[in-house]
Structures are given as structure tokens and as C-alpha cells.
Amino acid sequence: MSLKLAAFDQEAAKGVQMTFSLDGTPAKGTLDLSTPLGTRMASVQWRERMAVLRTSEGEQPFDSLDALTRHVLGEPLPIPALMAWLEGAPAPGQPWEGQTPGNQEQFTQAGWQVDLRARDSGYIDAQRAPTATQRGITLRVRIDH
């Protein structure tokens, strides 16, 4: 996974690359994050209304996955929606709009423009445009089947 955060306000642009293992459902799951060379950086477990970040420094609880990803990356990531995107569709129960009516390969959901056209080749791209209150984000996920 690569994540590019645009410069915003007093924050410089930054990029992050990591490997990940994601398991579970939007209601309960785990996410393990490692460096590209395989060193574990963190482990995240969540259930409704709670997420826990585990690092070499210990455990830290958060009220939600959004709060946890905002703490770690400076911006929230839509992990529950990402789980559906990895499966090749918009997240159920959340409104979405296709580039063309019914198009589930290119759509907008939760403020993200999602492109699943290269999913069969192992890639998912998503972008959140910058606004007056948030920085722009580009997310690229490589899927190992």
C-alpha cells in the first residue's frame, strides 16, 4: 500500500509505503502493518466503537478506526469501505455514485474517488480531493492474491 498525503496548512506533503494484512469485517477485524522489508510496524484490532493500536511501545485505545488512522497518519482512512473495495465493489450501506450509472469500477464513496478497473491486475486506486478543511490523499493498494 502506498499513501501520499498532500501538503496542507502547515503540514508538509508526505508519503508512506507499507505492506498490510487485513482480516475480518467492518464490525470486527485486524490489520497488520509492516515495512516493505517485512518488519512489523503495528497491529490494529477493532470492534464496534473501539480500535486498539499495538506497537513496540505498547497498546493505545481509540474510539474508532477513523480516530486511530487520523492519529497514525494525520488523516482518517476509510478501512471498512476499503474492505469492500478490495472485494471489487462499493461498501454496502454507504451511498455511492458511479462515473456512469451503475458503474462499480469507477465510483465516488465517502468522499473518495475509487478506481477498481485494474483490480484484476492487482491494483486499486483511490483519491480524496483536498478541501478547505482536509488534505488530499492518494491511496494505491497492490493486492497479492
Q: Residue 72 to residues 16, 68, 105, 106, 118: CA-CA distances in angstroms?
A: 11, 6, 29, 28, 28
The pTM (predicted TM-score) of the whole model is: 0.88
Kindly compute the dihedral angle of the four CA atoms of residues 71, 130, 105, 67, in this order, to the nearest 10 degrees. Answer: 20
User: Would you kindly state where each structural domain of the chain is located, as residue ranges?
Assistant: 2-142
Residue range 10-55, pLDDT digits in tens: 889 999 999 999 999 999 999 999 988 889 999 999 998 899 999 9
Residue range 92-136, pLDDT digits in tens: 999 999 878 778 899 999 999 999 999 999 999 999 999 998 899
Let me know: does 140 contact 123? Beta carbons within 8 Å: yes
What pLDDT was estimated at residue 95? 94
Percent of the chain scoring above 70 in pLDDT: 99
What pLDDT was estimated at residue 145? 62
- For domain 2-142, which architecture applies? Clam (2.50)
